[in-house]
Amino acid sequence: MEHTKLQCLCLLICSLIVLNGKSVLGGNQTSNENLGMVDLTILESAVSKGAVCLDGSPPAFYYDKGHGEGANNWIIYFRGGEWCYNVIDCLCRTKTEKGSSKLALKQRSFYGILSNNKTVNPDFYNWNRVMVIYCDGASFTGDVEIVDPVTNLHFRGARIFHALIEHFLAKGMKDAKNAILAGGSAGGLPALLHCDRFRALLPNSARVKCLADGSYFLHKKNMKEIPFMDIVNEGLIKLHHSAKMLPSSCIAKMRPSLCLFPQYFQQEIQTPFFIVNSMFDTFQINKTFPGYYEDLNNNTCSATLVKTLQDFKQEFLSALPKQSNCSSSRGMFIDSCLIHSQILSGVGWNGFTVHNKTIAKAFSDWYFDRSPVQLIDTPDMPLNCYKFPSVTSFCT
């Protein structure tokens, strides 16, 4: 009976995860990108290193080989998908690609920054482009040696990261001239946490930078209730033993769960990094203010909602890295779109703008040292950016 209840609960949770993914990602893609399908690669050799997904299956990725002038350049992109911070949720994930490479799609199309279309992605279209599936549930930070014989859950995200990077180094990344460690949502967090580790493994002569999309999760202070992210982070640290992968200087000053918030560890990152984020990120709005996302879509804009979102905006902006007109080590593209994660969408990468610059143009200018880029949008309320070029506010 208990086993049946557990299965039913897992099915319910999985359904909610799928629905949530659809609601926050938008799902709009451009139709003019001439993209081939990229095959899934299972990294069987990682198993001997203990680098496995939640269910013990090998890690996996999609790889499109670079060519021409991009042959020695690499983008490693980590997919996202929230976190599993309790046993029930982690068991549920083993029934999806979020916990098992056995269930990953055999092929995927690459959009946005991973597109092979020169017209829409002129700076990176011919690079070696990798998309890593997210199957550890802890932003590639966990490392627990013991496997529970009852659940057979493996918490080995940190080992997955190292095994994958070792593989790509052997495949030619050790000679990289340019490299980017990137990711979206929960997959963008390791792009920040592992940024310096990634830099240390590449040639000193290489241009190496990191990119986090929809991953600058805000720690809300002075809330009456315990915020969702605090609950997640505490559970994640305890279950996955993630503390040892966090910046030591941060955990020396505060409890480890806080050191999963970029605002508390970003100053310790030595490698240049770039943040793409909405100041009204739908994941944050959904989790911090339940019900407000639906109110916005229904144009039910009460005075309380307006003030709450404006206060949230100010708190988010104050948590960002300090701005400087001459700094090239910290780049940012902060828009007002009611959206979560943008650079893998053709629409987001080439459509959304801040001060007349697209994400693609802003990031490229920063990455190639053409100019410092610290773009922050000005609207007080979130915008419906999927209606561009006539972008409208949700609350008017």
Q: Which of 281, 335, 336, 364 is catalytic?
A: 281
Question: How long is the chain?
Answer: 396
For residues 161, 219, 258, 20, the Cα torsion angle rounded to the nearest 10 degrees is: -40
Token pair recorded at residue 58: 């090998």
Distance CA 263, CA 253 (A): 14
Residue 91 contacts residue 148 (beta carbons within 8 Å): no
Q: Is the Cα torsion angle 82, 86, 88, 90 positive or negative in sign?
A: positive
Distance CA 10, CA 72 (A): 44
The count of C-alpha atoms lying within 13 angstroms of the C-alpha of 374, restricted to the half-sphere facing its C-beta, is 15
The count of C-alpha atoms lying within 13 angstroms of the C-alpha of 325, restricted to the half-sphere facing its C-beta, is 0
Catalytic residue check, 318: no
Distance CA 388, CA 131 (A): 28
Catalytic residue check, 340: yes
Distance CA 314, CA 301 (A): 19
Q: Which of 340, 341, 364, 377 is catalytic?
A: 340
Which letter does DSSP use for residue 125 in this model?
T
Q: Which of 185, 336, 345, 364 is catalytic?
A: 185
Q: Is the Cα torsion angle 235, 238, 240, 245 positive or negative in sign?
A: positive
Distance CA 269, CA 272 (A): 8
Token pair recorded at residue 273: 């990094």
Residues 6+ apart with CB under 8 A from 297: 394
Token pair recorded at residue 249: 């200087």
Catalytic residue check, 101: no
Strands (E) across 247-325 are located at 273-278
Element of type H or E holding 189: helix 189-193
Name the residues annotated as catalytic.
Answer: 185, 281, 340
